[in-house]
Amino acid sequence: MSAKLPLSLVVITRDAAADIAECMASASFAAETLVVDSGSRDDTVETARGRGARVIERDWMGFGPQKQLATREAAHDWVLCIDADERVSPDLARSIATLFDRGTPDACAYALARRNRFLGRWLAHGEGYPDWTVRLFDRRRARWSDDVVHERVIADGQIARLCSTRRPNRSTRTSPSRTVTRRFRLRSCTHAEAEWVRSISRCLRSHGSCVSTC
């Protein structure tokens, strides 16, 4: 895929130096990469800028407000919002390219099929796959909710599912600590509690387990 697509990859981060480069590389088809960072103490900001991202530094406001701020700051109306520890599969990248090759997408938002990998095995049923989640949308007709946790995309029109000829059509890779962070984020969004979760994350990393989603 040579030509860049008229959309912005949007990622919110904090201490994501270990993930941000691969995240950006998986969505290199986007004409812009925007990273909104909330006080990283590692090399997240430097790594993102070094790989061509536009970086904005903002205090943490909660997941919904932070993602909506990032969406507003994007250069393009169409945005692809993923987390730093997620990866876009090559098959999904082709599906997105095909969608834009046809002209302006018909729907105002698209749900992507996320697949989870736990303890080295891809999950194929239940919540493991497909875990449909809206991540690609036109910000003029859709937006992130104001929820500080349990954030979701609210659309003013049709939400379609972006399917492809192969599966999975979205791939993410993460560590067990990221999954724990996601689980605990449902009950907390303060930095103090996030620090507690990160301490658990560091402990889990030492055991060498592996979790991924796609």
pLDDT at 1: 59
Give the tens place of pLDDT for each residue, 174-209.
443 333 233 333 333 455 555 555 554 444 444 332
User: In terms of Cα–Cα distance, which of 40, 78, 33 is closest to 59?
Assistant: 40
**pLDDT at residue number 93:** 94
Task: Kindly report, residue by residue over 58-69, the tens digit of the pLDDT.
Answer: 999 999 999 999
pLDDT at 170: 34
Residue 145, classified by CB atoms within 10 Å of its CB into exposed (0-12), middle (13-18) or buried (19+), is: middle
Is residue 157 within 8 A of residue 123, CB to CB? The reply is no
Amino acid letter, 74: A
DSSP string, 17-50: TTTHHHHHHHTTTEEEEEEEES--SSSHHHHHHH
pLDDT, residue 125, reads 61
Residue 115: per-residue pLDDT: 73
pLDDT, tens digit (0-9, with 9 covering 90-100), for 120-133:
776 666 666 678 99
| Pick from 104, 37, 100, 99: nearest CA to 73 | 37
- C-alpha 98/C-alpha 82 separation (Å) is 19
Strand partners, 131: 114
* pTM assigned to the model: 0.77
Which segments of the chain have a pLDDT < 70?
Answer: 1-2, 116-117, 122-129, 164-214
214 contact partners, CB below 8 Å, separation of at least 6: 87, 89, 114, 115, 116, 117, 122, 129, 168, 170, 171, 172, 173
A 10 A CB-CB count for 78 gives 23
Domain extents in the chain: 5-113+132-163
The CA distance from 147 to 138, in Å, is: 20
- The pLDDT value given to residue 130: 79
Domain 5-113+132-163 part of CATH 1.20.120.10:
no
Fill in the DSSP letter of residue 150.
S
pLDDT computed for residue 126 by the predictor? 61
